[in-house]
A and B are shown apart, each in its own frame.
Chain A
Amino acid sequence: MAVMHEMAAGMGGIRTAGDLVARMVMKGMKIGPAKEYVANKLGCSIFDLTDSAKMKEIRESLDIGTILDRPQASYGMAAKIKIAELLDIKIPCVELFKKKIGI
């Protein structure tokens, strides 16, 4: 079911900018304004948000995690700390992690 919906109508998750747009939708933003907000923060067009070739370059340059791991690249919490800064939002687990390590 997940494969069908993602292929038919999804944005592409961390393969593209799907997770970033989802974070804004989760804040109560409708899909159109959420895409616009993320595109502005990434400095790309809304069209680029679901282009996996374009987003791979953008995600790697911002070091916010991709579907393929790379040496020294951020993933997990490290990537989310950067995503919170990039989108200018508070991510609860990032706040918790910062509190734990005293920053």
Chain B
Amino acid sequence: MEKYFTRMGDGEGIWMTKEEIKEDVLKGMETAVLKGKSQPLESDEIDRLIEILTMPEKNVSVERGHEGITTFDAGTLKLCVRQAIPIDRSTAVLIHERVLCSETMELCNTDYSYKAIKNIAAEEAMAMEHAQMSCILPLFYGAMPNMGLYTKPDGPVDNWSELLPSGQIKEAMTAQEEAAKLCIKDMIYVGSALAEAGACGIQFDTSGASGDADAFAALSAAKVLSEKYPDLSIIIGMANEFNLGMHGKLTFEGERLAGQYPAKQVKSAEAAGAHNFGVVINTNSSRSFAWNLARSLTYVKEATRVAEIPVIVNVGMGVGGIPLTNTSPTDATTRVAKTMLELGKADGL
């Protein structure tokens, strides 16, 4: 029986038959249907996904007309810091604009947390003003809420991850509420400084990384900024396909945040006045690429079905079906891109 080269969720190359691939596609989809209450893929969509997964070409691309926009989190961190190319951040912006031909770019700090940036907000604002003078593409500023940074010993608040295992539930909830207040204040402060420096938009990346209170903080800050600066674009990018209920009872605009899957997360983002929603589905490295892509696609399709704002799929290392490796293979990466835009009906990546 013919076997096709594909991958595991950690990037390792494997060979599977079409039947094995189909079996994993169905299992991945069923996971998203059961856990996220997503609608299952139609049979023609399943067939098309299997076709994409088994295409003989090494790299694939979308059919004409299905192109979307590209956005970035940790934008200027990639070339200047992680790849150690000795250039200024504003040069990285221009490389993305004129060499890589990205649709948008994001200016950011190495310590990618709003709490850390508070101390250098004026300098970051100046960097934004300078970068905006020479670039043409839309330039965001972005960072993470990273609410865990407000816990002792780095911050003033008790650590809910220590309180919860010791049964101090009320104390853990109070600690998260206190941390969220501080986090919201910092994000509004930094977001305002960058908005007034001419940022095209503000990105709240990896929202919900510390649980539902972290997501609550990002949504609350987004709401304030979207009302304060009507021309500022806001992207809320998530940390997970599921809001962890570390607090459990927090609501935003009447909706409980704990346990939200992408189709509900995007509605909260809309209620916050966000213009774009960055859906995240984490890759399971011990499952196949087919399983992960089908699962991610099912979640994305459900989010785009209900969304009134554009849905941008996070497709970096270890999310959106992309294998969990820092050097994601081009065969898998391009298949994810094609699948998310053609079948997932996403507006961009």
Which A residues fall within an 8 A CB radius of B?
1-16, 18-19, 21-23, 25-31, 34, 46-47, 50, 64-65, 67, 75-77, 79-80, 83, 89-97
Which of A22, A28, A50, A95 neighbours the largest number of chain B CB atoms within 10 Å of its CB? A22
- Say whether, besides A2-B102, A9-B66, A19 and B137 are in contact (CB < 8 Å): yes
Q: Are B64 and A50 in contact (CB under 8 A)?
A: yes
- Say whether, besides A2-B78, A92-B195, A79 and B100 are in contact (CB < 8 Å): no
State whether the Cβ of B349 lies closer than 8 Å to any Cβ in chain A. Answer: yes
* Complex-state Cα separation, A93 to B133, whole angstroms: 8
Q: Are A8 and B337 in contact (CB under 8 A)?
A: yes
* Complex-state Cα separation, A85 to B68, whole angstroms: 23
User: Which chain A residue lies CB-closest to B194?
Assistant: A92
Q: Are B198 and A46 in contact (CB under 8 A)?
A: no
Q: Are B101 and A6 in contact (CB under 8 A)?
A: yes
Smallest CB-CB A-B distances: 10 pairs: A93-B198, A13-B101, A26-B233, A9-B337, A93-B132, A8-B334, A8-B337, A22-B103, A31-B347, A18-B103
Choose the segment among B28-36, B54-62, B256-264 that binds chain A (4+ C-beta atoms closer than 8 Å).
B54-62
Q: Are A14 and B97 in contact (CB under 8 A)?
A: yes
Q: Hey, what's the 0/1 contact readout for B317-330 against A, CB within 8 Å counting as 1?
A: 10000000000101
Q: Are B197 and A6 in contact (CB under 8 A)?
A: no
User: Which chain B residue lies CB-closest to A23?
Assistant: B138
Minimum CB–CB distance from B347 to chain A (whole Å) comes to 4
* Complex-state Cα separation, A3 to B349, whole angstroms: 12
State whether the Cβ of B7 lies closer than 8 Å to any Cβ in chain A. Answer: no
- Say whether, besides A9-B68, A28-B275, A92-B199, A4 and B330 are in contact (CB < 8 Å): yes
Cβ contacts under 8 Å, A13 to chain B: 70, 96-97, 100-103, 137
Cβ contacts under 8 Å, B347 to chain A: 25, 30-31, 34
Q: What are some 30 contacts across the A-B interface (CB < 8 A)?
A: A1-B78, A2-B70, A2-B72, A4-B328, A4-B334, A6-B100, A7-B334, A9-B337, A10-B101, A10-B102, A10-B103, A11-B70, A13-B70, A13-B103, A15-B101, A18-B101, A22-B348, A23-B138, A26-B201, A27-B275, A28-B309, A30-B310, A31-B68, A46-B65, A67-B101, A75-B136, A90-B231, A91-B200, A92-B199, A93-B198
* Complex-state Cα separation, A64 to B65, whole angstroms: 23
State whether the Cβ of B229 lies closer than 8 Å to any Cβ in chain A. Answer: yes
* Complex-state Cα separation, A90 to B233, whole angstroms: 11
- Say whether, besides A2-B70, A25-B69, A26-B276, A96 and B100 are in contact (CB < 8 Å): no
User: Which chain B residue lies CB-closest to A93?
Assistant: B198
Cβ contacts under 8 Å, B64 to chain A: 47, 50
Cβ contacts under 8 Å, B102 to chain A: 2, 6, 10, 13, 18
Cβ contacts under 8 Å, B341 to chain A: 9
Cβ contacts under 8 Å, B65 to chain A: 46-47
Q: Are B231 and A1 in contact (CB under 8 A)?
A: no
State whether the Cβ of B67 lies closer than 8 Å to any Cβ in chain A. Answer: yes
* Complex-state Cα separation, A97 to B103, whole angstroms: 22
Minimum CB–CB distance from A74 to chain B (whole Å) comes to 9
